[in-house]
């Protein structure tokens, strides 16, 4: 699998995943024009994208759907509540591919698991993508995708414990969110609630609590520009990094990760 985070943060989220048989996006939280520009930077284009897997209906994950009217070949994978919620705001009817939350299904040579995560949306999900025949030439690799969740319940831990690569949010630093003057109190409560977003502290605690994970690399994503910083992340995850269990790669707010092969 070839993988790239096109952009991640409160203002938009999208990632690119390529296997031998398909090119897909995980979320489309930028305008179609912006997505096209981001894909061009890595030598790809929207015209070559086969499908998009949507975690939930929030704008920072799905705003690109409006402009995808010009790309009717793209299949949109979502659960029913998410699709219905998004369809209400669209002037066209995309090629919806409805999956059941909690199910496992295939798209070409990609195996997909979608499972519920606690977040204040209709029916938000996390994903595990698996590809490869598990032989010398095509090793089986698994990528877990966990953004937008207020806490990590046991069933989510189960799903991502054995993945090779994990993308998980480290949205805010609790002290920086507390000190923030832009956000009114109810918004802060929503962010740090059980159905909001994971803080550096919560994510660090969760990662450290897994004693035998299969992770080779963990990407910290959906980083808030105002209420987090690479310094705060460095401090909070120092003990996890020094434990040497896997590579930790923070994705700076609004930025991405250059394409890499998940080997």
Report CA torsion sign: 17, 23, 26, 28.
positive
Residue number with the shortest CB distance to Zn ion?
58
Q: Say whether residue 123 binds Zn ion (CB under 5 A).
A: no
58 binds Zn ion (CB under 5 A): yes
- Write down the least CB distance from residue 85 to Zn ion, Å: 12
Counting contacts by CB under 5 A, is residue 141 touching Zn ion? no
**Which residue do the tokens 């981001």 mark?**
38
CB-based burial label for 153 (10 Å; 0-12, 13-18, 19+): middle
Read off the tokens for 169: 């949010």
Q: How many residues bind Zn ion (CB under 5 A)?
A: 3
Residue 148 touches Zn ion, criterion: CB under 5 A: yes
Which positions ≥6 away from 92 have C-beta within 8 Å?
69, 72
Subset of residues 199 to 238 that bind Zn ion, contact rule: CB under 5 A = none
Residue closer to Zn ion (CB basis): 71 or 197: 197
Q: Which is nearer to Zn ion, 60 or 236 (CB)?
A: 60
Site for Zn ion in 59-98 (CB under 5 A): 60
Q: Rounded to whole angstroms, how far apart are CA atoms 7 and 98?
A: 25
Name the one range near Zn ion by CB under 5 A: 99-107, 146-154, 179-187, 210-218. Answer: 146-154
3-state SS, residue 45: coil
Q: Binding residues for Zn ion, per CB under 5 A? A: 58, 60, 148
């Amino acid at each position: 699998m070839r993988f790239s985070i096109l952009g991640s943060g409160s203002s938009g989220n999208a990632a690119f995943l390529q296997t031998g048989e398909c090119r897909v996006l995980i979320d489309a939280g930028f305008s179609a024009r912006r997505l096209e520009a981001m894909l061009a930077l890595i030598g790809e284009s929207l015209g070559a994208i086969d499908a998009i897997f949507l975690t939930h209906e929030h704008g920072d994950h799905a705003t690109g759907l409006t402009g995808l009217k010009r790309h009717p070949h793209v299949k949109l994978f979502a659960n029913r509540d998410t699709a219905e919620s998004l369809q209400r705001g669209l002037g066209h009817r995309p090629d919806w591919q409805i999956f059941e939350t909690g199910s496992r299904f295939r798209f070409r040579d990609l195996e997909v698991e979608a499972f519920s995560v606690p977040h204040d949306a209709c029916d938000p999900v996390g994903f595990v993508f698996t590809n490869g025949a598990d032989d010398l030439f095509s090793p089986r690799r698994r990528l877990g995708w966990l953004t937008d969740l207020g806490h990590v319940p046991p069933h989510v831990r189960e799903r991502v414990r054995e993945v090779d690569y994990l993308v998980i949010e480290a949205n805010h630093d609790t002290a920086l969110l507390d000190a923030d003057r832009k956000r009114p109190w109810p918004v802060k409560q929503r962010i740090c609630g059980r159905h909001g977003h994971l803080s550096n502290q919560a994510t660090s605690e969760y990662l450290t609590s897994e004693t035998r994970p299969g992770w080779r690399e963990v990407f910290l994503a959906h980083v808030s520009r105002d209420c987090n910083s690479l310094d705060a992340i460095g401090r909070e995850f120092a003990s996890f990094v020094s434990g040497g269990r896997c590579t930790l790669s923070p994705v700076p707010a609004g930025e991405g990760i250059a394409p890499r092969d998940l080997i």
